[in-house]
A and B are shown apart, each in its own frame.
Chain A
Amino acid sequence: MSGSGTSGVTRLRRRAVPYLLALPAAVWLVGLFLVPLLVMLVKSLETCSPMTGACTMSWHWGEFGSQLSMFHKQMLTSLKFAGIATAIDLLLAFPIAYWIAFYGGRRKNFFLLMLLVPFFVSFVIRTVIWEFLLSNDGIVLTTLRNVHVVSTDFHILGTSTAVIAGLAYNFLPFTALPIYVALERIDRRLLDASQDLYASRITTFTRVILPLCIPGIFAAFLLTFIPAFGDYVNQQVLGGIGNTMIGTVIQNTFLINLDYAGGSALSAILMVISLVGILLYGRLIGSATIGEFL
């Protein structure tokens, strides 16, 4: 096949095409994602003046230890809240996605749109509306008090419950959509085949449907858990003292204390925890095809 110059050029061009096509995305990724990430990691090793915010490189690894010892409680709170919210979302989203995928008929797209409509509104505003709904003289608590379901001093705002509810609400579509896609992709003839081979409806669900949508569940988990883990809006709007999440801490460290080294170290720790979590989770359910669903 080795041959004349033209065929060599053609071959070269053919090989180059995929890379050329990937170039804009690569520039984007490197310039706006990888570089800032590196800057952040470098910053975490610098020492910054709390007065001016100016930093100098000092290879100071101690930042990691000290931040961790100061804020491990908030880390754990974040892990807990994000974990519970993700679990709630998985339990809520699965039946919704299942119903739309299998019984949505011709109106599937309409139902998906209904699921997404609230999310056309800005994230912060949505959360503020929840604050309004859950406030002590808001519509929910007033009604409940009037019908004597709850006592007069009962409140939701400021509690962990409110934060978790807010997180679960805000990230639900990120859970539902990947699961929907996974269920939608399942070849319906496999369900016929399963029943043909003596599997009842329930067995068909556990032996065929569930295994085939595990990659979707995994994607749903990642897309819900990771943003919820680092989120600070829900906690700041709906939470109170005593349930501070790590996202709030990082935000304060950067923007109020101007401690860029500390903030960077915390962010790096957050990232490592998420990565380790993902790898463990991926290993446990052994999903080879996660990539397809992200």
Chain B
Amino acid sequence: MGESPAPVNVRLVNVTKQFAEVRAVDNLSLDIRAGEFLSLLGPSGCGKTTTLRMLGGFEEPSTGSIFFGEKDVTGLPPYRRDVNTVFQSYALFPHLSVGDNIAFGLRRQGVSKADAAQRVGEMLELVDLAGLSARRPAALSGGQQQRVALARALVNRPTLLLLDEPMSALDAKLRKHMQIELKRIQSQVGITFLYVTHDQEEALTMSDRIVVMNQGRIEGLGTPREVYERPQTDFVASFLGASNLLPGILGSATQGYYDVEVTGGHRLRVAAANVAEGLTASSAVQVGVRPEKIHLVPSARAEEAGTNCLRGVVRVATFSGVGNQYLILSPDGRDFTVYAQNIGDALAPRTGDEVEMRWPVEHTFVVRPSGTMTNEGE
């Protein structure tokens, strides 16, 4: 592949983007590490595309700065930035062949025709499109167009590659295939990827780290496991996967554990590591657990150490092939979602049964209310 330029970190520092009415990005700071695959996840309209466009140079931040390594690129136009983009719609040039599309960036940078042709050839190999160089984009399938868009950006060996929902036009099967391809290509070229997606599973499987955004702010940042197992805010807990959340008051720490008092006088135990940063004793918090972490047991069974438990009544039981999904009505009138794998348990509870919900203390977490995160979460 030839050598890439020395990888550098890309930093957004207190970046805000105010459109006439809307604050699309709100005082956002983020450090993108050299060579990582970072996903940007969040609901529609939360500012993902705007963030990408500011990195690409298509929008200027209202306030704040963007650095590539030590260089401040905030005011630079797109064609002066060492960034390339894979656009959602691919935006391939319809009047140019596949080869000329891929060579476009190289030629504009003054690479000679012969050198460009050679690198285009290598790139076509990498994305598995050798032999299609002379075709027009209109004569390619969706998946092929997507790979041309990727090749056209990657061939320039940018400091940062931006991908704005590049898979959204592909069907589920092709999408799976391209996810694997993309991950392979990324590890092969070692370029930093900033990947915007709506698809949580995609973000969880492909990323080194995930950023969860909401209303222009970062709500969560970390490895997929960290963000999933130890969400920092209630927004992250319910946006990324599903969570059962209960309001409560955080007690004081004893031997690495906190007790949270929830309505009805119950106490739930949480490991200190699973309590969101910046919370102090007796603050109002939410305590949560993922649906798949809960076991349902007949309510008469003896308590076990190291578990939290709450009683309830099965309100709805749904069979979905690989598993059973339950809605359990807890005493304070809240529905809990519980997901149990279908492992042939003959004692699976039925609607109306009284049950006890049990889950390990280490799978219990405590989150802050949304929007209160201090942005940099290194």
Residue of chain B at shortest CB distance from A190: B91
| Complex alpha-carbon distance, A64 and B7, angstroms | 76
Q: How far is the CB of B121 from chain A (nearest CB, A)?
A: 18
CA distance A187 to B85 in the complex (A): 16
Contacts of B87 in A (CB 8 A): 189, 192-193
Report the Cα distance A226→B74, complex, angstroms. 52
Q: Quote the shortest CB–CB distance from A17 to chain B (angstroms).
A: 27
Within 8 A of A (CB), among B219-273: none
User: Is residue A211 within 8 Å, beta carbon to beta carbon, of the partner chain?
Assistant: yes
Query: Residue among B84, B89, B104, B156 with the most chain A CB within 10 A?
Result: B104
- A residues 146-202 touching B (CB-CB < 8 Å): 187, 189-190, 192-200
Chain B residues whose C-beta falls within 8 Å of the C-beta of A198 in the assembled complex: 79, 105, 108-109, 156
Nearest B residue to A212 by beta-carbon distance? Answer: B95
Q: Does B377 contact A (CB under 8 A)?
A: no
Chain A residues in 8 Å Cβ range of B203: none
B300 to chain A, nearest CB (A): 64
Determine whether the beta carbon of B152 is less than 8 Å from that of A197: yes
From 63 to 119 in chain B, residues with beta carbon under 8 angstroms from any chain A beta carbon are: 77-79, 83-85, 87, 89, 91-95, 104-105, 108-109
Q: How far is the CA of A194 from the CA of B79 in the complex (A)?
A: 8
Q: Which residues of A contact B105 (CB under 8 A)?
A: 196-198
B101 vs chain A, min Cβ distance (A): 9
Judging by beta carbons under 8 Å apart, are A197 and B58 in contact? no
Of A193, A199, A208, A211, most buried by chain B (CB within 10 Å of CB) is A193
* B152 / chain A contacts, CB cutoff of 8 Å: 197
Cα–Cα, bound, A199→B56 (Å): 13
- In the complex the two chains form, what is the Cα distance from A207 to B94 in whole Å? 12
Chain B interface category by residue count: 20 to 34
Q: Is A257 an interface residue (CB 8 A)?
A: no
A196 touches B94 (CB 8 A): no
- Given A198-B105, A199-B104, A199-B108: A193 touches B93 (CB 8 Å cut-off): yes
Q: A189 near B77 (CB under 8 angstroms)?
A: no
Find residues 135-194 in chain B having any chain A CB closer than 8 Å to their own CB.
Answer: 152-153, 156
| A196, B85: Cβ atoms closer than 8 Å | yes
A179 smallest CB distance to B (angstroms): 16
Bound-state Cα–Cα, A212 to B152, Å: 19
A211–B100 alpha-carbon span in the complex (Å)? 14
Tell me which residues across on chain A come within 8 A of B95, comparing CB atoms. 208, 211-212
State the main secondary structure of chain A at its contact with B.
helix
**Contact of A197 with B84 in the complex, beta carbons under 8 Å:** yes
User: A214 — nearest CB in chain B belongs to which residue?
Assistant: B95
Contact at A190–B93, with CB atoms within 8 Å? Answer: yes
Does A203 sit at the interface, judged by CB under 8 A? yes
Q: How far is the CB of A202 from chain B (nearest CB, A)?
A: 11
A200: chain B residues at CB < 8 Å are: 77, 79
Among A190, A203, A212, chain B packs the most CB atoms within 10 A around the CB of A190
Contact of B91 among A192, A199, A203, A212 (CB under 8 A): A192
Q: Is the CB of B84 within 8 A of A196?
A: yes
Residues of B within 8 A of A194 (CB): 93, 104
- Whether A193 contacts B85 by the Cβ 8 Å rule is yes
**B156 in complex: contacting residue of A189, A192, A197, CB < 8 Å:** A197
| Interface residue ranges of A66-112 to B (CB < 8 Å) | none
The answer, among B58, B94, B104, for a CB contact under 8 Å with A192, is B58
Which residue of the partner chain, among B56, B92, B109, contacts A196 with CB atoms under 8 Å?
A: B56
A201, chain B: closest CB distance, angstroms: 8
- Most-contacted residue by chain B among A189, A198, A207 (CB, 10 A): A198
A208 vs B87: C-alpha distance when bound (angstroms): 17
Name which residue of chain B comes closest to A211, CB basis: B95
Contacts of A207 in B (CB 8 A): 104
Chain B residue at smallest Cβ distance from A195 = B78
- Determine whether the beta carbon of B91 is less than 8 Å from that of A187: yes
Measured between beta carbons, the chain B residues less than 8 angstroms from A212 are 94-95
Closest to B110 in A: A198
Known contacts A189-B87, A212-B94, A212-B95; decide if A196 and B78 are in contact (CB<8 Å).
yes
Minimum C-beta distance from A68 to chain B (A): 41
- What residues of A have a CB within 8 angstroms of the CB of B83 in the complex? 196
In whole angstroms, what is the CA distance A228 to B89 when docked? Answer: 42
Output the least CB separation between A147 and chain B (Å).
46
A182 vs chain B, min Cβ distance (A): 12
Residue of B with least CB distance to A191: B91
Residue of A nearest to B82 (CB): A198
A200 — nearest CB in chain B belongs to which residue? B79
Return the chain A residue nearest B152 by Cβ: A197
| Bound: A174/B181 CA distance, A | 50
The answer for the CA separation of A199 and B152 in the assembled complex, in Å, is 14
A86–B58 CA distance with the chains assembled, in angstroms: 37
Tell me which of A196, A199, A207 has the highest count of chain B C-beta atoms within 10 A of its own C-beta: A196
Contacts of A190 in B (CB 8 A): 91, 93-94
A200 to B110, CA, bound (A): 13
Per the bound structure, the CA–CA distance linking A208 and B57 in Å amounts to 19
**A193: nearest residue on chain B (CB-CB)?**
B91
Which residues of chain B are near A211, meaning CB under 8 Å? 95
Distance between Cα atoms of A200 and B57 in the complex (Å): 13
Partner-B contacts on A (CB < 8 A): 187, 189-190, 192-200, 203, 207-208, 211-212
**B interface residue numbers (CB < 8 A to A):** 56-58, 77-79, 83-85, 87, 89, 91-95, 104-105, 108-109, 152-153, 156
3 A-B pairs with least C-beta separation: A197-B105, A193-B91, A198-B108
Give 30 pairs: A residue, B residue, CB < 8 Å, sorted on A. A190-B94, A192-B56, A192-B85, A193-B85, A193-B87, A193-B91, A195-B78, A196-B58, A196-B78, A196-B79, A196-B83, A196-B84, A196-B85, A197-B79, A197-B105, A197-B108, A197-B156, A198-B79, A198-B108, A198-B109, A198-B156, A199-B79, A199-B104, A199-B108, A200-B77, A200-B79, A208-B93, A208-B95, A211-B95, A212-B94
- Apart from A195-B58, A196-B85, what are 13 other A-B pairs with CB-CB below 8 Å? A187-B91, A189-B87, A189-B91, A192-B56, A192-B85, A195-B57, A195-B79, A196-B78, A197-B108, A197-B152, A198-B79, A198-B108, A199-B79
